[in-house]
């Protein structure tokens, strides 16, 4: 029965590779340090009382008059309810704000999520997690910073830039309810190896949050809706020795009409047996786009990550190869009930 569940789950996860889904979403190089944007099933998936964290991405273009992207995100989650001896429920919340371009096109999301973690064996070495996430998407833009074609032409002809109100009248901010879901399999294969593989779906309700506040009757049905999207991700952790660790990971996105594949390999080194600090370093590659330089530090309940993208695509002609940098930090709060120690009464011998 156990092997049938494992085979069914892996088949379900891999089937996502052949499903044509699409969306426009934020993405990270340090995707494993933003669990609630990676997969709702990761909510409360750790050992501790509560977890708080954040990640920041800055992608600036090195060209006159062009402004890049900035994306901060924050989250908190906790395993709150134990079910039996090995199962539990986790809840969490997440917020992000992506700002792009000179006109400050802003996409914001505020979500709450819940996940159920089910042990598939008596020792709890294999878990199957299901997550659900719902929240509000919003979009806005500074219309006064936009320049349309007729305005540029008028400036060339008259030498004076004049805004055309009609061009901006039909642009307005919008918001919509959004629903995401995910599933994840976590397994400890032996004392030296563990893995997790997950599949998450985004924009299940295909929300409409277009900037245009007019009703264009000539638009095809659903053209203003945000299409369904999915992410397939995995991480494998190997203890090579008492000092060295290896963690290869991957992330596959189906975003709008294009696919995106990221592969990474982090090597970790334990400073010594008494010091709980682990230093991590490794390369990553976003297929056809950028080479990633990754750095991480784990110290007790703290995790820190940093990355820098070196553009290798045609975009390097615009930004001179300068990509994006990211910083991420998380902390797991651990409040465990102290054991009750019964007093020992020593009776002297007579």
pLDDT in tens, 134-184: 999 988 876 666 666 555 555 555 656 555 655 555 566 678 999 999 999
Q: Is there a contact between 37 and 66 (Cβ–Cβ < 8 Å)?
A: no
Q: Show the tokens assigned to 4.
A: 């049938």
Residue whose token pair is 């008259």: 158
- C-alpha 158: how far from chain center: 48
Q: What is the mean pLDDT of residues 309-329?
A: 75
Residue 82 has pLDDT above 80, yes or no: yes
Q: Show the tokens assigned to 150.
A: 């007729």
- Coil, helix or strand for 127? strand
Q: Which helix (H) or strand (E) holds 152?
A: helix 149-158
Q: Show the tokens assigned to 286.
A: 């976003």
Residue 261 has pLDDT above 70, yes or no: yes
Q: Show the tokens assigned to 22.
A: 């699409």
How much of the chain, in percent, has pLDDT values that exceed 70? 68
- Assign domain 2-333 to its CATH superfamily: monomeric porin ompg (2.40.160.40)
Q: What is the mean pLDDT of residues 294-322?
A: 82
- Binned at pLDDT 50, 70 and 90, residue 5 comes out as very low
Closest by alpha carbon to 247, among 9, 11, 33? 33
pTM: 0.80
CA angle at residue 295 from 14 to 328, to 5 degrees?
Answer: 80
Residue 341 has pLDDT above 60, yes or no: no
How many H-runs (helices) and E-runs (strands) does the chain carry?
A: 5, 14
- Binned at pLDDT 50, 70 and 90, residue 312 comes out as confident
């Amino acid at each position: 029965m156990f092997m049938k569940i494992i085979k069914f789950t892996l088949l379900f996860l891999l089937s996502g590779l052949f499903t044509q889904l699409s969306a426009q979403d934020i993405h990270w190089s340090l995707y494993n340090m933003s669990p609630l944007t990676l997969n709702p099933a990761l909510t409360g998936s750790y050992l501790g009382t509560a977890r708080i964290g954040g990640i920041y991405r800055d992608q600036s273009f090195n060209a006159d008059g062009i402004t890049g992207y900035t994306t901060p995100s924050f989250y908190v989650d906790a395993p709150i309810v134990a079910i039996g001896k090995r199962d539990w429920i986790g809840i969490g919340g997440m917020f992000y704000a992506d700002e792009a371009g000179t006109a400050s096109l802003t996409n914001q999301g505020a979500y709450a999520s819940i996940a159920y973690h089910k042990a598939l064996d008596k020792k709890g070495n294999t878990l199957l997690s299901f997550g659900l996430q719902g929240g509000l998407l919003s979009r806005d833009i500074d219309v006064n910073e936009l320049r349309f074609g007729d305005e540029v032409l008028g400036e060339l002809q008259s030498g004076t830039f004049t805004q055309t109100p009609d061009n901006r009248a039909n642009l307005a901010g919008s918001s919509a309810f959004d629903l995401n879901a995910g599933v994840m399999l976590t397994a400890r294969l032996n004392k030296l190896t563990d893995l997790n593989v997950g599949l998450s779906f985004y924009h299940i309700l295909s929300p409409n949050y277009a900037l245009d506040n007019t009703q264009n009757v000539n638009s095809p049905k659903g053209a203003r809706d945000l299409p369904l999207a999915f992410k397939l991700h995995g991480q494998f952790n190997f203890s090579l020795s008492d000092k060295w660790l290896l963690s290869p990971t991957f992330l596959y996105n189906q975003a709008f009409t294009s696919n995106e594949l990221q592969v990474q390999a982090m090597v970790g080194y334990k400073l010594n047996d008494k010091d709980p600090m682990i230093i991590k370093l490794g390369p990553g590659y976003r297929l056809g786009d950028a080479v990633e330089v990754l750095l991480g530090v784990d110290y007790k309940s703290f995790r820190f990550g940093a990355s820098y993208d070196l553009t290798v695509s045609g975009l390097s002609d615009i930004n001179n190869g300068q990509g994006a940098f990211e910083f991420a930090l998380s902390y797991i709060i651990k409040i465990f009930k102290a054991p009750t120690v019964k007093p020992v009464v020593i009776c002297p011998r007579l």
